[in-house]
Structure 1
Amino acid sequence: MPVLTAEPGATPADEEPPDTGERHRLTAVTGLAALSLDAMASVAYGPEAIVLVLAAAGAHGLGFTLPVTLAIAGLLAVLVASYRQVIAAFPDGGGSYAVARTHLGARTSLVAAASLVLDYVLNVAVAVTAGVAALTSAFPSLYDDRLWLCLVVLVLITAVNLRGIVESAKAFIVPTVVFVGSVFVLIVVGLFRSGPVSTATADGHASVLADNATTVGALLLLKAFASGCSALTGVEAIANAVPSFRLPRVKRAQRAEVALGAVLGVMLIGLSVLISRFHLQPVEGVTVLAQLADASLGHNWAFYVIQFATMILLALSANTSFGGLPVLLKLLARDNYLPHVFALKADRQVHRHGVLALALVSAALLVFSGGDTNTLVPLFAIGVFVGFTIAQVGMVRHWRLEKGPGWRGKALLNGFGGVLTGVAAVVVTASKFEEGAWLIVIALPLLVAAFETVHRAYVRIGERLGLGRIPEHPHRDRSVVIVPVSSLSRLTSEALTAAASLGDEVRAVTVCYPDPEDRAALHALERAWAEWDPGVPLVRLACERRSLGRPIAAYVREVTAAEPDTRVTVLIPETEPERLWQRLLQNQRGAVVAHAVRRETDAVICRLRFRLF
């Protein structure tokens, strides 16, 4: 039977389906697995970043590892408390973007959004390359294929996320539990050791302690603090994705945020205590976490479990971006700063356009870097500190406007956090500027400019459509329906019947060419048409060139010019094959006609699909 559809128009797959229940949303536990892998995995490189900076002051400098870590843990507590309030104040998600949009203005909110977008994209690339780097360290023969391995891992993570955020949480919860459990075992066992039980991992590797040690000054400690703050990336992800949680969303998201802060804080402090307890020194080619596992548990199967769990979690920590960025893109699209397609949901509550966009940009970054972590690391974490700072400042204004119970203490807490994260952002940018951070300094305003360009385009569209104003009453115009035909068939009859129900006048048109065989086919069609006599005139459209769409578009323009008050509709009859492969048997003439008419005229285009099954 024929099915009439109009162009342009949305298909059912493009429309946001009604909420089918809460089963496709997150609990507090699955929220940790889906949105906190980035933060969890940061313990693999956060303490090491502190140690490598303090190594410039020699063994004496390493003694400040624990104090610096405690300062970072304090900032973590401030951030968790702040984002817990952000979750309550902005349950639609968006994190620092939502805070800034409400309290700091559109431009500042776009800076926050751009910083989050950059950080999310870089997190995917860094996480995947770091995980693959751990794999190639264990199996050096795979080193030359690291780019392809990175792309394979990215494809797998993307495929899981296209099935829904709950599915990704279920898939990643086991490696998360194994990693966190292993690190806790490492810490607890290490606290009962009087010294390292093994140094086999570090033996034979050169120390990176500076030969000419510098003094431990405020600048060195500040740089160590800023480098260690890379462990805080991902703390904001839960606040960005509150709509992904089950009801009651705010309470579940807050529980997940507090649990993340507690687990991450304990791991960071515990590992730093062991670094000081074992007098660990950084060496080339061996991670600090590997040395701690060796010193605490020995060079045995437990050591390899931790290494393998670290490798898996580093690669999968890219999932944090897939859980948070699509929600942020949805909010930007809702506010007309991105194409509205990013606000659409597929089934399973998936913002698939956001997921695919993140995957494509991340793949481009992987190709650009050749799968090398060191190329991407200098770009990483700057954006998240900008977002942290904006969120803190915005929450200070939030408390000042609200002036609820205890608002001064809350504002003071957020203000203190804003100062710390702002200083960290400046220090990280300055210290990594020549290593590639300048790219972020350029990319951030460019991304903000892109958001504003999209917004201006939507404003013009809204003005053109008269959005927000009461339109004039609808009225009926005289209408002419034009039906392209090339032969007589049941499809032709169905098309003319549908056209008669759409308009006041129906005209069939056929394009004729000067070739002898085409002339013969035209004469045959005209004889058959006269014999059939459907009560609809057949108009010949002569064309010297082998063009199908342009003559029909030109005829539509003629009709419109001759009858300016008449609405013209072009109804294109097409067959719908039973099997997908049978589409290859069709000539695609309907698509050619539709493209030409849509490009050159304002006529309404209808596609009449006749099912062959």
Structure 2
Amino acid sequence: LCLAVLVLITGVNLRGIVESAKAFIVPTAVFVGSIFVLIAVGLFRSHPVSTVTAAGHASALAGNASAVGALLLLKAFASGCAALTGVEAIANAVPSFRVPRVRRAQRAEIALGAVLGLMLIGLSVLIGRFHLQPVEGVTVLAQLADAALGHNWAFYVIQFATMILLALSANTSFGGLPVLLKLLARDNYLPHVFALKADRQVHRHGVLALALVSAALLVFSGGDTNTLVPLFAIGVFLGFTIAQVGMVRHWRLEHSRGWRGKALLNGFGAVLTGVAAVVVTASKFAEGAWLVVIALPLLVAAFETVHRAYGRIGERLGLGRIPKTPRRDRSLVIVPVSSLSRLTSEALTAAASLGDEVRAVTVCYPDSEDRAQLHALERSWAEWGPGVPLVRLPCERRSLGRPIAAYVREAAAAEPGTRITVLIPETEPERLWQRLLQNQRGAVVAHAVRRETDAVICRLRFRLP
């Protein structure tokens, strides 16, 4: 079921941010509205209307739970902070807002914080008013709905809305992480393919990568929320802490008006979220938090490796420096052929327009049947008279790409100042399924030439009428 929901969310997000927001706005609005109705009705209740939901279930509290220690307070603080995770998605998705982006994102962040704060405070007040305690197998929210609204249709509306919202809550990551991957790719810490946008203005590769990692986590954890939620919370709190520390450094370097107060506020936030991260990691270490402790250093090492690789590539390409003035070299175009057809004529025509010299090459094998086909091709070639020489490339083995690559190397060694282009003619079928009928000779030749030579590869697509 979890994997099916993941496939649904991935498909919706691949259609674009606007489409995903439209698809998920209804269940979100129903959930938020039902929670506020529950709070409003519950505030006018002096006692629970119904306790059917919790009846017969054992208490989840330990029998000796009497004192409130420092560790319990810290754990409660961390759990409370975990309830507010998700607000970071707006900060991550600022580039996706319409102009003025920062102002719109600030308004959305304030609205989200106000809604979450009111819901959390309201539910906490009702828990104290109705003297609810956690019980095995029943959520506190289900107990609240039962106590405030009764065990009727309204109770089931809240339960169903909660289930749908929890199923779709993964969309938060799909809205923020692809944008974050794009920023990392822009700064050369991830492959540049993550910075590309599809036609629907969505970072498709980021969405697909997130879906694959999410599926792996679901399979690894068996869909157990007790394992997945700590992983999410630790990552969020660490991100909050790093971001707040970065803002402190930003204010210190900028020295704008009121920078001390802003730096103090961000520093205080960094301390709070850092404490929450430590507490959640320590309390949930055996339940799966150890995976984050191992994965984060590996991710940082991978980012640094990619960054260094891009640095070396940029140095070799001379990025940021003025290159030499372009010049025109003599060019030789080599065209692999196996038979005579309209495709051959189109290929030689294109080659003649690209290079100073054109040579057609054909690979020949020692089998009698292959020799007969070669003689037939040479007779047809002489009769046709295209003005382009046909060069035999004998090969003892049934290889296609290597003989052509070897001939390219020989031509490059014989004429050092010549630019060599290998033009590979291929047909473009009318229908997609007809690609299965092709023999993939062009792909084989292109792979061999790309791997073994420095020649330019040109793949000519001839569309069938």
TM superposition score category, shorter chain reference: over 0.9
Which structure 2 segments of 5+ residues have no match?
none
Task: Describe the superposition over 1:487-541 as per-residue Cα deviations: whole angstroms up to 9, x where unpaired.
Answer: 1112111111111111111111011011101101111111111121211111000
Provide the C-alpha distance between the structure 2 equivalents of 1:497 and 1:525, rounded to a whole number of angstroms: 19
Which structure 1 segments of 5+ residues have no match?
1-148
Provide the C-alpha distance between the structure 2 equivalents of 1:331 and 1:590, rounded to a whole number of angstroms: 37
SS at match of 2:284: helix
Provide the C-alpha distance between the structure 1 equivalents of 2:341 and 2:199, rounded to a whole number of angstroms: 39
**TM-score, length-normalised on structure 1?**
0.75
Equivalent pair of 2:230/2:280 in contact (CA under 8 Å): no
Provide the C-alpha distance between the structure 2 equivalents of 1:431 and 1:235, rounded to a whole number of angstroms: 23
- Match of 1:171? 23
Task: Describe the superposition over 1:332-377 as per-residue Cα deviations: whole angstroms up to 9, x where unpaired.
Answer: 0000000100000012210011001100111111122222323323
- Match of 2:117? 265
Provide the C-alpha distance between the structure 2 equivalents of 1:582 and 1:434, rounded to a whole number of angstroms: 54
SS at match of 1:347: coil
Query: Aligned pair 1:374/2:222, yes or no?
Result: no
Query: 1:585 Cα deviation (Å)?
Result: 2.2
Provide the C-alpha distance between the structure 1 equivalents of 2:93 and 2:6, rounded to a whole number of angstroms: 21
Query: Aligned pair 1:340/2:192, yes or no?
Result: yes
Provide the C-alpha distance between the structure 1 equivalents of 2:232 and 2:347, rounded to a whole number of angstroms: 59
SS at match of 2:459: strand
Query: 1:153 Cα deviation (Å)?
Result: 0.6
Provide the C-alpha distance between the structure 2 equivalents of 1:487 and 1:435, rounded to a whole number of angstroms: 65
Provide the C-alpha distance between the structure 2 equivalents of 1:263 and 1:371, rounded to a whole number of angstroms: 28
SS at match of 2:200: helix
SS at match of 2:133: coil
Provide the C-alpha distance between the structure 2 equivalents of 1:226 and 1:583, rounded to a whole number of angstroms: 56
SS at match of 2:46: coil
Provide the C-alpha distance between the structure 1 equivalents of 2:372 and 2:231, rounded to a whole number of angstroms: 69
Query: Aligned pair 1:429/2:281, yes or no?
Result: yes
Query: Which moved further from structure 2: 418-427 or 263-272?
Result: 418-427
Query: 1:568 Cα deviation (Å)?
Result: 0.8
- Match of 1:138? none
Provide the C-alpha distance between the structure 1 equivalents of 2:252 and 2:423, rounded to a whole number of angstroms: 61
Query: 1:420 Cα deviation (Å)?
Result: 1.2
How many residues align? The count is 465
Query: Aligned pair 1:539/2:398, yes or no?
Result: no
Runs of 4+ in 1 over 3 A off after TM superposition: none
Provide the C-alpha distance between the structure 1 equivalents of 2:431 and 2:265, rounded to a whole number of angstroms: 64
SS at match of 1:349: coil
SS at match of 2:375: helix
Query: Aligned pair 1:520/2:372, yes or no?
Result: yes
Provide the C-alpha distance between the structure 2 equivalents of 1:400 and 1:593, rounded to a whole number of angstroms: 59
Provide the C-alpha distance between the structure 2 equivalents of 1:286 and 1:490, rounded to a whole number of angstroms: 73
Query: 1:566 Cα deviation (Å)?
Result: 1.1
Task: Describe the superposition over 1:104-142 as per-residue Cα deviations: whole angstroms up to 9, x where unpaired.
Answer: xxxxxxxxxxxxxxxxxxxxxxxxxxxxxxxxxxxxxxx
Alignment equivalent of 1:411, drawn from 233, 247, 263: 263
Provide the C-alpha distance between the structure 2 equivalents of 1:395 and 1:406, rounded to a whole number of angstroms: 14
Task: Describe the superposition over 1:386-418 as per-residue Cα deviations: whole angstroms up to 9, x where unpaired.
Answer: 111122222222222333333222222212111
Query: 1:222 Cα deviation (Å)?
Result: 1.4
Provide the C-alpha distance between the structure 1 equivalents of 2:446 and 2:31, rounded to a whole number of angstroms: 56
Equivalent pair of 2:421/2:458 in contact (CA under 8 Å): yes
Alignment equivalent of 1:561, drawn from 413, 430, 433: 413
Query: Aligned pair 1:188/2:40, yes or no?
Result: yes
Query: Which moved further from structure 2: 394-403 or 349-358?
Result: 394-403
Q: After superposition, where does 1:586-605 map in structure 2 within 5 Å? A: 586-605=438-457
Equivalent pair of 2:226/2:287 in contact (CA under 8 Å): no
**TM-score, length-normalised on structure 2?**
0.98
Provide the C-alpha distance between the structure 1 equivalents of 2:131 and 2:248, rounded to a whole number of angstroms: 41
SS at match of 2:52: coil
Query: 1:284 Cα deviation (Å)?
Result: 0.2
Provide the C-alpha distance between the structure 1 equivalents of 2:446 and 2:374, rounded to a whole number of angstroms: 22
Task: Describe the superposition over 1:268-308 as per-residue Cα deviations: whole angstroms up to 9, x where unpaired.
Answer: 00000001000001100000000000000000000000000
Query: 1:436 Cα deviation (Å)?
Result: 2.1
- Match of 2:209? 357
Query: 1:183 Cα deviation (Å)?
Result: 0.4
Query: 1:214 Cα deviation (Å)?
Result: 4.1
Query: 1:466 Cα deviation (Å)?
Result: 0.9
Provide the C-alpha distance between the structure 1 equivalents of 2:192 and 2:166, rounded to a whole number of angstroms: 32
Provide the C-alpha distance between the structure 1 equivalents of 2:231 and 2:241, rounded to a whole number of angstroms: 18
Provide the C-alpha distance between the structure 2 equivalents of 1:456 and 1:399, rounded to a whole number of angstroms: 29
Provide the C-alpha distance between the structure 2 equivalents of 1:184 and 1:162, rounded to a whole number of angstroms: 32
Provide the C-alpha distance between the structure 2 equivalents of 1:579 and 1:378, rounded to a whole number of angstroms: 49
- Match of 1:219? 71
Task: Describe the superposition over 1:132-160 as per-residue Cα deviations: whole angstroms up to 9, x where unpaired.
Answer: xxxxxxxxxxxxxxxxx111111110111
Query: 1:217 Cα deviation (Å)?
Result: 2.3
Q: After superposition, where does 1:485-524 map in structure 2 within 5 Å? A: 485-524=337-376
- Match of 2:52? 200
SS at match of 2:391: strand
SS at match of 1:226: helix
- Match of 2:126? 274
Provide the C-alpha distance between the structure 2 equivalents of 1:555 and 1:566, rounded to a whole number of angstroms: 14
Query: 1:219 Cα deviation (Å)?
Result: 2.4
Task: Describe the superposition over 1:461-506 as per-residue Cα deviations: whole angstroms up to 9, x where unpaired.
Answer: 1111111111111111111110111111121111111111111111
Provide the C-alpha distance between the structure 2 equivalents of 1:255 and 1:348, rounded to a whole number of angstroms: 26
Provide the C-alpha distance between the structure 1 equivalents of 2:340 and 2:461, rounded to a whole number of angstroms: 16
Query: Which moved further from structure 2: 264-273 or 489-498?
Result: 489-498
Query: 1:550 Cα deviation (Å)?
Result: 0.8
Provide the C-alpha distance between the structure 2 equivalents of 1:374 and 1:222, rounded to a whole number of angstroms: 19
SS at match of 1:486: coil
Provide the C-alpha distance between the structure 1 equivalents of 2:243 and 2:280, rounded to a whole number of angstroms: 18
Provide the C-alpha distance between the structure 2 equivalents of 1:346 and 1:336, rounded to a whole number of angstroms: 20
Distance change >3 Å, CA 282–CA 260, structure 1 → 2: same
CA RMSD in angstroms comes to: 1.1
Provide the C-alpha distance between the structure 2 equivalents of 1:231 and 1:375, rounded to a whole number of angstroms: 16
Task: Describe the superposition over 1:397-452 as per-residue Cα deviations: whole angstroms up to 9, x where unpaired.
Answer: 22223333332222222121111111111111111122221211111010000001
Provide the C-alpha distance between the structure 2 equivalents of 1:488 and 1:530, rounded to a whole number of angstroms: 11
Provide the C-alpha distance between the structure 1 equivalents of 2:365 and 2:69, rounded to a whole number of angstroms: 87
Provide the C-alpha distance between the structure 2 equivalents of 1:600 and 1:308, rounded to a whole number of angstroms: 61
Provide the C-alpha distance between the structure 2 equivalents of 1:350 and 1:377, rounded to a whole number of angstroms: 27
Provide the C-alpha distance between the structure 2 equivalents of 1:217 and 1:590, rounded to a whole number of angstroms: 72
